Amino acid sequence: MEDSEKRARAEARLEAALVERGLEDPRPAYRERLRSLRETHPAAFDQALGYYEASTIVDLAGTADPVDTWVEYGRVIGELTGPGALVAIDTDGRATPYAPPLPPRTMVLHIPEDTSNPILAAAVPRDASAAQRAAHGMLVERQLSL
């Protein structure tokens, strides 16, 4: 399969999986983080692109679960910003360590150890619960009031 075919298949599989599972598209948040890495840590940006080309596109174009593959890419981007962990937040707002496969209606965030580094949303349900929206607002958007 040629690169353009691989990319087209990867994009189509990801978009279908996001719709099927009721998830927001995380690509804008990933692109924003990549822009930041390009400006502040060019070597980390190059690593993120290398991982995307060598692993993410290959897995998305193949048979790997598209959502789990994309969450893993979010982990990679998050780790290149600063070490941390993927955390799953259920509809009641309870946080647990994330492990694939992604359960339905679960939000996944990469939370860095260094609180000065931004949190990255790797998976957000389109119909996020009030608790998930509050967690996203406070943690990702850094809103101090609801």
Band of the pLDDT at 133, cuts 50, 70, 90?
A: very high
Sequence-distant (≥ 6) Cβ neighbours of residue 124 within 8 angstroms: 23, 24, 26, 107, 132, 136
Alpha-carbon distances of 77 from 5, 12, 34, 84, 103, rounded to whole Å: 24, 22, 7, 11, 22
Q: What is the mean pLDDT of residues 5-26?
A: 94
Side by side, the strands of the sheet bearing 84-89 are 95-97, 84-89, 107-112, 120-123
Q: Decide: 124 and 23 in contact? Cβ < 8 Å.
A: yes
Q: Amino acid identity of 56?
A: T
Q: What is the mean pLDDT of residues 104-116?
A: 96
C-alpha to C-alpha distance for 85 and 115, rounded to whole angstroms: 12
> Is the pLDDT assigned to residue 81 strictly greater than 60?
yes
C-alpha to C-alpha distance for 89 and 114, rounded to whole angstroms: 20
- Model pLDDT, residue 1: 62
Q: Give the residue carrying structure tokens 């193949």.
A: 62
- Model pLDDT, residue 142: 86
